[in-house]
Structure 1
């Protein structure tokens, strides 16, 4: 059974997340279909497409094929960023074409891509409402080819990449800070291994040294120990064992690192 997922920057305090869910249920009733709905996250930082791509990228593969993923970031009417529907990896992705899908699938193009055209529904003017109607159409068995004209490609957003300074030094950047305050860089395991070539890695974060690499979070560590690891999504993560609550004594807090901040890597 396909599932509908929601990833937004709406937050939980305002009514928008509830309204988009209710609108989706209403559209499914219109089509006389039903589908489970999963909130991936409504806590994406406002207009942060990189963060949304990281979060959804870590979740969508757990859903069954044929699922529909709504990524509603900076969702407002924009001529150059129309609502689009894409099919890739056996999943459907509905979003405004700000370029977020180019971050979710770097270097790839979808199997099918259309611009969503709902001019036959005069009651739909908001991009979020248009995409919920399109999602219900897909859940009901409709094809995305009937949602609008083909689109040659999605818009592109440029993300930061690791920068090699010399044989032993590189700069990477923070792309995500998780719920526990652990810091995820944009250094992929594949890139790191190619650059590292078996040498020992040391990380400098705002003058703090991190030189302990762990294979998994089950390794015994004293509370407050600094470590680095490759996380489940294949990125270099910097962490503190047994971090505190509410942002206190976390890796982000203690290392002084936030989104897009640079981190120095050294090899020896």
Structure 2
């Protein structure tokens, strides 16, 4: 049996996560369930998209990913099941899949149409679980939905390059548990536009002229500990997903501060890269 993952904004206090797991086991007791995250900020589609994009590749092909973010069915928020990169995604067509689809073309997309057979005011529990278990049994997507071509796209998810190709305008798309700020500027785009030129990254009052591979690359370990510039050391780096990240070395938002708090950066704030 394949693995089913869960990514939601349900949190840990309420019964929702347990109820969804119980419904899955009631359908197929042999399934394995893995929690990716239940701490997505409420209705935060971009946050969910970033987390899913960076988690799903670690799972084996055939894994089914249930995404319970902004999933209430309405005329502008249909439910979909998507086959992409050998995985299956069951979610609302609200832009969550567009970050994945910007890099890899989906193999198949269906708009779920089993709602007349399932009484529901909790779609993740009633509809998404039914669809995921259908797929887990080897069922085809066409049985539970009609084929469609278009996915709703998230606005502002892609950085903008100016006509002179000497500037990239990016935005903050994620802030992690350490307060590190992740932008939508990828290493591949940076290198394509930069072509080895010098650059300056600007984020409000913070500027950077180097991008590191690791957090510790910003620290001069040739100096004795008492002479190293560590506390509050700002840095830019390519994170494990090859997105441009702005960070504070060993940051803690609750004590010493973080890139988000110290630079004054929030979701959708602008990050500018100017090449010389």
TM-score normalized with structure 2 length: 0.86
Gaps of 5+ in 1: none
- Once the 2 structures are TM-superposed, how far is the Cα of residue 11 of structure 1 from its aligned partner? 2.1
Q: Is the 8 A contact 2:72 2:122 kept in 1?
A: yes
Whole-Å Cα distance in 2 between the matches of residues 79 and 93 of structure 1? Answer: 20
Structure 1 residue aligned with 2:225: none
Superposed, 1:89-108 pairs within 5 Å as 89-106=85-102
- Among candidates 180, 183, 186, match of residue 185 of structure 1: 183
Distance 1:247 1:176 in 2: 20
Residue of structure 1 equivalent to 2:193: 195
Judge conservation of contact 2:73–2:79 (CA < 8 Å) in 1.
no
- Counterpart of 1:63 in structure 2 is 59
**TM (normalized to structure 1)?**
0.89
Q: Does 1:27 align with 2:21?
A: no
Which residue pairs with 1:12 in the alignment?
A: 12
Deviation of the 1:119 alpha carbon: 4.7
Q: What displacement does 1:48 show?
A: 2.0
Mapped partners of 1:167, 1:112: distance in 2: 35
Residues 247, 253 of structure 1: 8 Å contact kept: no
Name the SS for the 2:113 alignment partner.
coil
d(CA) in 2 for partners of 1:22 and 1:161?
38
Please tell me whether the aligned partners of residues 84 and 115 of structure 1 are also in contact (alpha carbons under 8 angstroms): yes
Q: CA RMSD in A?
A: 2.2
Partner of 1:227: 235
CA distance in 2, matches of 1:213, 1:154: 34
Name whichever of 64-73 and 45-54 sits farther off. 45-54
1:133 corresponds to which of 115, 130, 135: 130
**Structure 1 residues 247 and 45, CA gap change in structure 2 (3 angstroms):** farther
Pairwise mapping of residues 100-249 of structure 1 onto structure 2 (< 5 A)? 100-106=96-102, 109-119=105-115, 121-128=117-124, 129-165=126-162, 168-219=166-217, 221=219, 222-246=230-254, 248-249=256-257
Answer whether contact 1:204 1:264 (CA < 8 A) is retained: yes
Instruction: Measure the CA separation in 2 of the matches of 1:59 and 1:106.
Output: 16
Change over 3 Å in CA distance of 1:21–1:241 after alignment to 2: same
What's the secondary structure of 1:157's corresponding residue? coil
Task: For 1:263 and 1:54, locate their aligned partners in 2 and report how far apart those are by CA, in whole Å.
Answer: 17
Q: Is the 8 A contact 1:169 1:267 kept in 2?
A: yes
How many aligned positions are there?
264
The 3-state SS of whatever aligns with 2:188 is helix
Is the deviation greater in 143-152 or in 62-71?
Answer: 143-152
CA distance in 2, matches of 1:25, 1:37: 9
What's the offset of the Cα at 1:169? Answer: 4.0
- 1:216, 1:105 → 2: CA distance? 28
How far 1:118 moved relative to its partner?
A: 2.2
Q: Which moved more, 1:177-186 or 1:72-81?
A: 72-81
Partner Cα distance (1:185, 1:131) in 2: 31
User: Contact 1:161 / 1:172 at 8 angstroms: preserved in 2?
Assistant: yes
Q: Secondary structure at the match of 2:77?
A: coil
CA-CA distance at 1:248 after TM superposition:
4.5
Q: Where does the alignment leave 5 or more consecutive residues of structure 2 unmatched?
A: 220-229
